[in-house]
Amino acid sequence: MQSFSIPSALVGEQRRPRVMIVGVGGTGSHFAEAFARLQHTVMALGHPGFDVTLVDGDRVSPSNVGRQRFYASDVGLPKALCLVHRINLAFGFDWEASHGYFNPKSLGDYRTPDLLVTCTDKALLRAAVGSHMASKACAGLWLDFGNGAAEGQVCLGHLGRPPAGERLPNVFDLYPELATMERADREEPSCSMAEAITRQEFPINQQVAQLGIALLWTLLRKGALDHHGYFVQTAPYVQTRPMMIDPVAWSFYGYETPKVRTRSRRRAA
């Protein structure tokens, strides 16, 4: 097994690290509020905090109340704007919101986040992020959440190709079949909370969101990780397994660790 050290950009020595959270619904709303508490905590320990943007094109519906971090008074409001106002008011932050659907092709410019967080059930969007950034030079990280009815996973990896050091595989590296998974993308939104619960167990979104926070806390506080994700299930009982930083474990997904190229030096005659 190997370990992964915290990138200098997330330390925030030169500027506040840029964080983009895409999707603030079932998992994303829980993650966003938990990340606000994480930011408040690390700032108390000397970290400068984060430059955070929430991205979501949906509005709060009655079926979101209770299962997501929204209330009856929020129905009809843009999700991203609603959460940002609440978080900024509670913590005194200056987070921003974008009420619109995320375009993966917007990544790759000078505003590419130091940490991209995707909390979406759209497999094709995640595949688009992975394929778009596959060959781009980028030291940023990508934290992805995926979950089904009673199981989920968290995966932290590099967003693109870091200019130096070992590369941590992201969710698209390990699951390239995301490009052909359209079932989740075609599902219609639930019209009631009761219908939503029949599709997905109530605790799963909160479980995976908190595991993502635990992963970031360990990285920020201890400076290194020996695992870069989790697998979790809530039925028939709660069980969590770490995703270890291990080329042998990655090989079971069909992912081969790129070999580090070294330049040969000619000896002086």
**Interval 81-108 mean pLDDT:** 96
Q: pTM for this one?
A: 0.89
At residue 132 the predicted structure's pLDDT band, cuts being 50, 70 and 90, is very high
Residue 265 lies in a domain: no
Residue 196 sits in a domain of what CATH number?
Answer: 3.40.50.720
Residue 214 lies in a domain: yes
State the pLDDT at residue 38.
Answer: 98
State the pLDDT at residue 94.
Answer: 97
Residue 135 lies in a domain: yes
Element housing 36 (H / E): helix 28-44
State the pLDDT at residue 179.
Answer: 81
Residue 256 lies in a domain: no
Query: What would the pLDDT profile of 168-184 be if each residue is shown by its tens digit?
Result: 999 999 998 888 875 54
The number of distinct structural domains making up the chain is: 1
At residue 200 the predicted structure's pLDDT band, cuts being 50, 70 and 90, is low
Separation of alpha carbons 86 and 12, rounded Å: 25
Residues 106, 129, 64, 69: is their CA dihedral positive or negative?
negative
State the pLDDT at residue 121.
Answer: 85
The domain in which residue 16 lies consists of 4-251
The helix-helix angle for 28-44 and 79-91 (nearest 10°) equals: 20
What ranges in 59-203 are assigned the alpha helix state H? 79-91, 123-133, 171-174, 183-186, 193-199
Separation of alpha carbons 21 and 143, rounded Å: 9
**pLDDT above 90 covers what percent of the chain?**
68
- Say which residues have a Cβ less than 8 Å from residue 121's Cβ, sequence separation at least 6: 26, 146, 147, 184, 185, 187
State the pLDDT at residue 87.
Answer: 98
Q: Are 215 and 229 in contact (CB under 8 A)?
A: yes
* Highest averaged pLDDT of the listed ranges 15-19, 106-110, 176-180: 15-19
Residue 197 pLDDT greater than 60, yes or no? no
State the pLDDT at residue 184.
Answer: 46
Of 13 and 102, the structure prediction assigns the larger pLDDT to 102
Local structure of residue 129 (DSSP, 8 states)? H
Separation of alpha carbons 149 and 205, rounded Å: 10
Give the SS3 label for residue 63: helix
Least confident residue range of 61-75, 102-116, 128-142:
102-116
Residue 266 lies in a domain: no
Residue 139 lies in a domain: yes
Residue 66 pLDDT greater than 80, yes or no? yes
Residue 262 pLDDT greater than 70, yes or no? no
Residue 94 lies in a domain: yes
Residue 70 lies in a domain: yes
